[in-house]
Every structure is written in structure tokens, then in C-alpha cells.
Amino acid sequence: MKIALVGGTGDIGTGFAMRWAIAGHDVIIGSRKAEKAMESAKGTLDLLGGAGGKVRGMDNARAIKAGEVIVLAVPYEHLNSVTLGLKDAYTTQIVVSPVVPMEYSGKFFKFVPPMEGSAAIQAKGLLPDSVKLASAFHTISASALQDKSRVLKGDTLICGDDAEAKEVVKALAKDIKDLRPIDAGPLNASSMVESLTPMLLNIARRNKMKDAGIKIVEERQI
């Protein structure tokens, strides 16, 4: 599958690129400048160190046009520019939003949702109706993703209104070793999932924990 990581030159983009390249996907790293994207792709291949995989770089618009699945690997403040600003590059792709609207007050991280209620709903409103959007991967640590030998023992919660999009995202999650996808409901539920990211960051910071994540446990009576 061709996966385009829009704004994928950062830590989370590198992590996704490594994991999905190892799984055999064709990964396209996008950036505002093609040169930066190509440099990031080369660096990612170096990090893979012969572990296999196909990674290339190009500007965001070309990456979107080339991708079957588009991952918005950008901070919230860039969401508008890679959705509405690049709207013409989108057609019928599946778009995945791990974007979280939050801010740091100097003491703690705070969830600051937009008027629409969540970054996912905001993105959907800025994209063509032909695009199928799901939200996922909000609580996955970038540093853990970049460690290709690391087994991720957490869950990723997926929200969306399109069954096909959800199934594709579930499959991509399963391609990341031991990451378990869980259906968390319609896209309107994404605000609850997005708000878990600042919560986890606050917990990790206060309790000196590294790479905190989410694991859903089923309580069974013996």
C-alpha cells in the first residue's frame, strides 16, 4: 500500500515511515519543501540499516496525489495548511488523523479543541467529501515508534464513520508489532480519544514515566 506521511519529516513521521516500510509498504514522506522530504527519506533508510522497505520523499501535494492512505503527521497548528491548503491534491484517499489540539501552559498540557469539537472533525470539514477519514494513533509514542526493535504493547483507539477506512487503519496498526487496534466509535467520538494525549503527557511528566500509552483491559470474573 502507498502511504503518504504529510509533514512526515518529524519524529512521529519518521517512526511511522520506519514501521510501515519494514512491513513492506511503499512509504512517501511529504514536506513543504521536496528537498527536506528527500533528506528525511534518506535518513529514515539509514536508520532502517538494511531492514528493508521503500521510503521516498517529495513535496506534500505530490505525496498526497501519490498516496492511497494519507497520514496527517503534523502539529495541530499546521492542520489547516495540509487540508484546506492542499485540498486540490486529495481525491478519494483514506486520510488518517493522529492530530491533537493541545497547548502547554508552563505547568501542564491542556486539550484545546476547536469549535468543531476535535481535530478530526475539523479536518473532515476542510477536505473533499470524497475523502474517507478516520482518527487513530493519538497515544503512540514517537520515540517508541522509531525504535524498530521495540515491541509496542499498547492499543490505538480508532474513530470513524466509514467502515472501509476503519478496516484499513486497523490493518496498518497491526503492521506495527504488537500494537492492537480498537474501535472507539464514530468520528464524533474522536474528541475523547484526542484528549487522552495531553492526559498521558501530564501523567508521564509528573510520575517520571517514559513513553506512556493506553492499554484497554477486560476484567473477567474467575
The reported pLDDT for the residue numbered 178 is: 87
Nearest to 137 by CA among 117, 115, 120: 120
Contact 64, 70 (CB under 8 A): yes
26 phi, psi to nearest 5 deg: -90, 105
pLDDT at 103 > cutoff 90: yes
Distance of CA 166 to the CA centre of its chain: 14
Mean of pLDDT values over 21-39? 96
Which residues neighbour 191 within 8 Å (Cβ) at sequence distance 6 or greater? 113, 117, 118, 121
pLDDT at 51 > cutoff 70: no
| Residue 133, beta-bridge partner list | 95
- By CB atoms closer than 10 A (0-12, 13-18, 19+), residue 2 is middle
Q: Output DSSP code: residue 103.
A: E
Query: In this prediction, what percent of the chain has a pLDDT beyond 90?
Result: 82
Which 3 state secondary structure label does DSSP give 182? strand
Please provide the distance, in angstroms rounded to a whole number, between the alpha carbons at the two ends of the chain. 43
pLDDT at 200 > cutoff 90: yes
- pTM here? 0.94
The reported pLDDT for the residue numbered 177 is: 85
- By CB atoms closer than 10 A (0-12, 13-18, 19+), residue 215 is exposed
The reported pLDDT for the residue numbered 20 is: 96
What is the overall mean pLDDT for the chain? 93
Mean of pLDDT values over 210-216? 88
The reported pLDDT for the residue numbered 181 is: 96
Domains, the chain, ranges and CATH? 2-206 (3.40.50.720)
Nearest to 86 by CA among 120, 123, 61: 61
Q: Angle at CA 30, nearest 5°, toward 73 and 1?
A: 85
| Residue 52: pLDDT band with limits 50, 70, 90 | low
Q: Angle at CA 131, nearest 5°, toward 128 and 135?
A: 115
User: 219 vs 91, which has greater pLDDT?
Assistant: 91
Helices (H) and strands (E) in the chain, counts: 9, 10
Distance from C-alpha of 76 to C-alpha of 56, rounded to nearest angstrom: 24
> Which strands, in side-by-side order, build the sheet including 132-135?
54-59, 26-31, 2-6, 69-72, 94-97, 132-135, 155-160, 180-185
Q: Output DSSP code: residue 214.
A: -
Distance of CA 38 to the CA centre of its chain: 20
